[in-house]
Amino acid sequence: MKTCKNCGKLLEKINKHSFCIECRTFTCISCGKVFIVNKSQHAKHAKYCSKECLYKTREYEHTCKKCNKTFLSKSSTAEYCNYCKTITCSVCGKLVKVTHYELGTRKFCSKKCHDYDQLNHKWSEVELSFIANNYPYKISLKELSEKFDSSISSIRRVIVKLNLPKCPVELRSQRQSNSSQIWTKEKIVKTIQFLYESGVNLNSSNIQKNYGSLLNSAYSRFGNWQQAIEASGYNYNSINLHSSRKTWSYDDIILKIKELYQAGENLMASAVRDNNADLFNAARRNIELGTWELAINAAGLNYNIICGEKWGNRYQSINGIFYDSIIEGRVADRLYQLKEDNIISEFESHVKICNKRRWTCDFVITINKSQKLWLEVDGLEESRKDGVYGPTHEKIQYYIKNKYNYKIITRIEQVDEILFLD
């Protein structure tokens, strides 16, 4: 017969344990609950009914590294007391507990406050003076963003407001280049001759794209690319440096801008520079225009609505709500008018999409009782940290997967186009 290993009591044949039920019954020293141990190996030293009760009574004494006060913690490796691990959000003032790894680096309670600070950061006179005195020749955009713990896009906005000069191509290439080779005149000439004999197109745009350090050094040593070509023994005019360049007249530029606008293309300077570089450069070279902004205005379009002030400028809509971008606020104004005209039933702004993520939709429009439209205003576009709102974006994937009726707009006029209005 099988007997209990603790008290010697006979056990039932069907009993799979080595101890009787009395020897496996204990009272939790933490909460006082009576419990039965099912594992035989725990029957001799069971004290707690659960891990929660075990952790409630387990405390270690530590000395805080920051304030030198003694404190108790359930962790055996704690280094800071709760008071020293609490920071104040620099945006909303909320107190938040952080890990010791985040002390000295974390400034915000949430990503929402972090993003708000990036767009609405109040720069002190000392910070602005430092940027004005050091950019671009003494410090780069990346170094400024690291110094002030800010995004590169927010630093760019400060540079524009301070009207600072752009970083020269030579300096930017020098910073980005990992090589430290010294380009002498002789080395530049030999390299140009080697590229010519290898059949490489010596067009300055091709050289800048594929051999940036060579072009920058040629400008530095010879003054310009033409003199470097002639010093290499070639006739500059015989080399077809502008074979792919179209001759743009003033009317051609204006007509092309209007065509792109009618096609719904993004007319922000950064987008046009990437997708229609010849048009962008032609507008800047044109004597009557000179800048992309003047070209947009000359085409009869509003530069501020299409290209500028899309983000980072607070805007109060008709219904009194403040928005962090002008385009978003103007969309709210339009929706408010449509609601007043009984064209749509209702609309809400910044609606939470799901509980698992912090995503919010800019506007949810109730067209009728059974039809809703989720509207995203993509004012940031390619400046967005997590990418443009394209089909591969996580939020858009969520819309598609859950069969949401959604639309993405980059211009205010698209609100009417989506709702089939004139």
For residue 102, the model assigns a pLDDT of 74
> What angle separates helix 111-120 from helix 152-161, to the nearest 10 degrees?
20
For residue 155, the model assigns a pLDDT of 84
pTM of the complete model = 0.32
- Asked if residue 388 is part of any domain, the answer here is yes
Please identify every stretch of the chain with a pLDDT value under 70, giving residue numbers as ranges.
Answer: 1, 12-16, 39-45, 55-58, 101, 104, 118-121, 170, 173-181, 238-246, 304-314, 379-388, 420-422
Per the structure, the count of domains in the chain is 5
Do 301 and 349 lie in a common domain? no
Do 3 and 39 lie in a common domain? yes
Instruction: Show the domain range for 208.
Output: 175-231
- Asked if residue 64 is part of any domain, the answer here is no
For residue 39, the model assigns a pLDDT of 65
For residue 212, the model assigns a pLDDT of 77
Residues 6+ apart with CB under 8 A from 42: none
Between CA 349 and CA 409 the distance in angstroms is 15
Give the residue carrying structure tokens 């280049």. 177
Do 287 and 325 lie in a common domain? no
- Asked if residue 352 is part of any domain, the answer here is yes
- Asked if residue 96 is part of any domain, the answer here is no
- Asked if residue 83 is part of any domain, the answer here is no
Q: CB–CB of 248/286 below 8 Å?
A: yes
For residue 45, the model assigns a pLDDT of 66
- Asked if residue 98 is part of any domain, the answer here is no
For residue 1, the model assigns a pLDDT of 62
Number of CB atoms found within 10 A of residue 277's CB = 11
Do 283 and 376 lie in a common domain? no
Q: CB–CB of 27/42 below 8 Å?
A: no
Do 329 and 412 lie in a common domain? yes
For residue 311, the model assigns a pLDDT of 46
C-alpha distances (whole Å) from 331 to each of 32, 127, 336, 376 are: 62, 35, 9, 10
- Asked if residue 66 is part of any domain, the answer here is no
Do 215 and 182 lie in a common domain? yes
Give the residue carrying structure tokens 């919010």. 360
For residue 357, the model assigns a pLDDT of 80
Do 284 and 332 lie in a common domain? no
What CATH number does residue 321 fall under?
3.40.1350.10
Do 208 and 180 lie in a common domain? yes
For residue 380, the model assigns a pLDDT of 55
Do 254 and 298 lie in a common domain? yes
Do 340 and 405 lie in a common domain? yes
C-alpha distances (whole Å) from 316 to each of 115, 302, 305, 321, 329 are: 19, 20, 16, 6, 7
- Asked if residue 338 is part of any domain, the answer here is yes
For residue 327, the model assigns a pLDDT of 79
Do 153 and 186 lie in a common domain? no
Between CA 240 and CA 190 the distance in angstroms is 20
Do 379 and 402 lie in a common domain? yes
Asked, as a colleague might, if the bond just before 391 is cis with ω within 30 of 0, I would say no
